[in-house]
Amino acid sequence: MADTTTRHVFQEELQALEDRTLEGLDVVVSTLDRTLEAVQQQDIELASLVIADDDRLDGRYLEVHQGVLSLLARQAPVATDLRLVAAILHVIRHVERMGDQCVNICKLLPLEGHEPPRHEEMLGKISQMGKQARVQIIQAKQAFCRRDPALAEDLCRQDDVIDVLNREVFYLALDIGDDVEMREWAMHMMLVARALERMGDIAVDIGEQVAFVVTGLFREFTDASHPELELR
């Protein structure tokens, strides 16, 4: 009876850690929304708030990480649960990294001043990238909640959209003209696009953890060293 009770408590604690981790993805979506607004409006004050608020995600990471270590110290999870424990540690780290990408974007805005140049086509593509990253983060959470490898693997297809837009931003920056201030602004926007592209990649990484939890085998959905083997 004691073993049954202990097992039940373990499952409850593990579920609570998973919930806290996946709630972190909701925080990331909210942070991304504010980051995109700051970029589009060139709002330095809002960017500063995003940077200051990153402590929430850092605190969430530490909370889950310590919770997992405490759980492992008190319990000996079986193979299936151990996979979930490992996946939770990976996902919460990814959550923290996505928050850092938003911070990286917001730290660029004060460098441009209060009245920086604008290039509407470039800003439009960055907005599309942000919206696509948002979709992928939400889908990654759904895939994890549902333990749905097919939904997780579909993130690769979704991520292609961000990759194409990222290249388009790069080419727009190359053709931006000779104005020094405009070129400097365009370089900053290239870094913004790169950060959003990384967030898409991280969503795919979370999808890979879904497949690991379900199958017990870790594999990358895409392989940069063997592109002909990429799964689509």
pLDDT (tens digit, 9 = 90+) per residue, 79-98? 788 999 999 999 999 999 99
pLDDT of residue 217: 83
Q: Give the pTM.
A: 0.90
More confidently predicted of 178 and 115: 178
Query: What is the tens place of the pLDDT at every residue in 133-152?
Result: 999 999 999 999 999 999 99
On the question of pLDDT at 41 being above 70, the answer is yes
CA dist 148 → 56, 81, 142, 213, 221 (Å): 28, 17, 8, 10, 14
Q: CA-to-CA distance for 88 and 209, rounded, in angstroms?
A: 9
pLDDT of residue 231: 37
As a whole number, the mean pLDDT across the chain is 90
Long-range contacts of 189-193 (CB under 8 A, 24+ apart): 189/119, 189/122, 189/123, 189/126, 191/104, 191/105, 191/108, 192/39, 192/105, 192/108, 192/126, 193/125, 193/126, 193/129, 193/165, 193/166, 193/169
Q: CA-to-CA distance for 166 and 49, rounded, in angstroms?
A: 26
CB contact at 8 A, 83 and 63: no
More confidently predicted of 231 and 24: 24
Burial 143-173 (b: 16+ CB within 10 A, else e): bbeeebbebbbbbbebbebbeebbebbeebb
pLDDT of residue 192: 97
pLDDT of residue 224: 42
Burial 66-99 (b: 16+ CB within 10 A, else e): ebbeebeeebebeeebebbbbbbbbbbbbbbbbb
Query: What is the tens place of the pLDDT at every residue in 93-138?
Result: 999 999 999 999 999 998 766 677 889 999 999 999 999 999 999 9
* Local confidence band at 3 (pLDDT 50, 70, 90 cut-offs): low
* Local confidence band at 29 (pLDDT 50, 70, 90 cut-offs): very high
